Chains A and B, each alone.
Chain A
Amino acid sequence: MLAGKIRKIFAGAIIVAASCHVQGEVPIDKLTVLNLPPASPYRLYLSDMVISHFVDSKLMIIDGESLNVIGHVALGMTGHATLTPDRSEILVSTAYMTKLNRGERIGQMDVWDATTLKLKAEINVPPKHSQSFPYRGKIRTSADGRMVFMQNSTPASSVTVVDRVAGKFVTEIATPGCWMIYVPQSVSDRFSTMCGDGTMLTVKLDAEGKALERKKSAKFFDADDDALFTSGAQADDNYTFVSFKGNVQTVNVAGDAAVAEAPWPLATAADVKAGWRPGGYQPVALHEKSGRIFVAMHAKGKEGSHKNPAKEIWAFDLAGKKRIDRAPGHHATVIAASRGDAPKVFAYSTDKSTLSVFNATGKLKHLKTAGPFAEFATQLDVQ
């Protein structure tokens, strides 16, 4: 009763206020909800684990030119996000506890509209998704967008397969000793994953999305002596990784088994002596059109320094295997690059919570730095 009276009073007040508007005063606002504007090539998606309360992680959407925040998506408990190939949806691998931090754990893939940022669908999956820092490769779609692959950890490693078109969970594929998901672009019936024995495992799927064939690559790295960062930069069927000690390793994942090219060093002998090494959570980005990679590098590196922030960002000609530029690192732990013409490079600092943007049409030219953004972000994707 009382609430009803209060509502009537407020409704009346609004009518009075509206009728009292006179010329020269601030006009009466109409309350609305925005959609995201059409995306530029520089729209950014920053995944934040929110380490102080990760039952409620989030994705922050940022305009990469103005560095203004333009939207958020709730990722649930330590959620991992990816865009569909047509960029119309944001897919999230996550879980929810029924009583916030206890109770039943419900596993699901959330489907968000990438324009309205409204929830479109929830698909139940086994509650096993990897509760871990966001990295590219914790959730990926097949090239055609139909199948979605999600990294699990119990801590035994496995991959959940969801059919996005049918809207249902398909299967869980055991991937013991292997981690992260790499999908080719020329075929849609397989994924690869990086293994601790220095190989890649490729799992070929049948028409339903169930495992048909599994093949290991030849050994191409040593996880003890010179481990590979799992966050790689993709161009078509190739992923380019960097190693803890500073080697570049490109791997093709289109075949029945992955094929690795010969590794090559980022650093000269003098650089090695000064301890220059890659570091961070997403240490390498690639601009396919110009054939360049950008790597977050720190000096005085040693065992255990592999998450240190960048002192410099180094650019390399991937085909020529040659350094062509170096720029201030802005404390970056996460590097990303836009696609197409007029490229920009983005450098996010996890500990400083700042985002720096560079014009990358020629030599890297710092444009601006802004922040703070996230609490603990480790993954940055570009439109």
Chain B
Amino acid sequence: MQAVGVMAPGQSAWVPRLLIGVAVGLTLLIVVAPLVYIFARAFGEGWQVYAANLMHPATRNAIWLTTITALIVVPVNIAFGIAAAWAVARFRFPGRGLLVTAIEIPFSISPIIAGICYLLLYGRQGLLGPWLQANDLQVMFALPGIVLVTMFVTAPFVAREVLPLMQAQGSEQETAAVTLGASGWQIFTRVTLPNIRWALLYGAVLCTARAVGEFGGVSVVSGNIRGQTNTLPLHVELLFNDLNATGAFAAASVLTLLALVALVVKAVLEGRRAA
């Protein structure tokens, strides 16, 4: 059916060619050029400089902090995504539509607002500030704050991929399993999980990419302490402000590689789902 427009008689060939040309040209200019430029600049002063930039203790520390954050956030998000999808797709209850909207809220709220929300809650002048200080708990300008704000920003990612799939699949198979006497855990591991595994993996990949790249929210709550609470995206900005452009591009190239891996995984999974 897609061919209808193309093969129609009387349509001149230059319109499609022009449109494709403009689309490709704009994409090269706006999307491809920035992507290629990152690597061109990162390696602009040679491999040795690139390796030295990445091995710099502050950069290594930023990579480490970002990795830890993702390792905490992504599993929690997977659990939340599955729970939310199961509740919404398998049961009817009042306020269900509202719940779906609530899950989507982080998509429309700027990460910087999320960061401000957390600061107003856990910061020294925040609602919980006095209590946290009395108990000697440090949330802001430390790992917990970074993790919490990243959880806020990435909350919808897994649920959004799994929920529509579970809704489309319906609950016949799971209901049949219940009838046959399967326990809840058996139903989940043997029926539900195999059915949603690709959507789940895709959601997890997107969630990881987003968690690793989070900037606005983290920049509010991290305090930007060099070598301590500096995640990799924040480190990119720090190096850029230090006028160390090559170093900034080297750090950025690591994030870009991760993003490209996420895209390749996505393409592979989509091919698999279509098959």
A and B associate: no
